[in-house]
C-alpha cells in the first residue's frame, strides 16, 4: 500500500482529480482518500514514484515523508 500526503488536496473536486489521476497511472489501482488528513492510500503494484509524479503534474505534489 502506497500512502501519500497531499497538502493541496482540500475539496471534493480535488478528490475527484486525485482519483482520476491515480487511475490513469494504474486503472486497476484501489484508491482510499482521507480528505481531512489530506492523505491518499493507493493499492497498486506500480512504483510510488509514478503516482507521485503524475499527482505533482496535476498540482498535488506529495509532501516529503516525515514533514508536518
Give the pLDDT confidence of 31-62 residue by residue, as tens digits.
999 999 999 999 999 999 999 999 999 999 99
pLDDT in tens, 1-37: 999 999 999 999 999 999 999 999 999 999 999 999 9
Domains of the chain: 2-57 (3.30.70.100)
| CB distance 13 to 20 below 8 Å | no
Report how far residue 27's alpha carbon sits from residue 20's, in angstroms, rounded to the nearest whole number: 9
CB atoms under 10 Å from CB of 60, counted, come to 20
Query: What nine digits make up the cell of 28?
Result: 486497476
Amino acid at each position: 500500500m502506497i500512502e501519500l500526503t497531499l497538502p493541496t488536496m482540500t475539496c471534493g473536486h480535488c478528490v475527484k482529480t486525485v482519483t482520476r489521476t491515480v487511475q490513469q497511472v494504474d486503472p486497476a489501482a484501489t484508491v482510499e482518500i482521507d480528505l481531512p488528513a489530506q492523505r491518499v492510500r493507493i493499492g497498486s503494484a506500480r512504483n510510488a514514484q509514478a503516482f507521485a509524479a503524475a499527482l505533482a503534474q496535476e498540482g498535488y505534489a506529495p509532501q516529503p515523508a516525515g514533514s508536518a
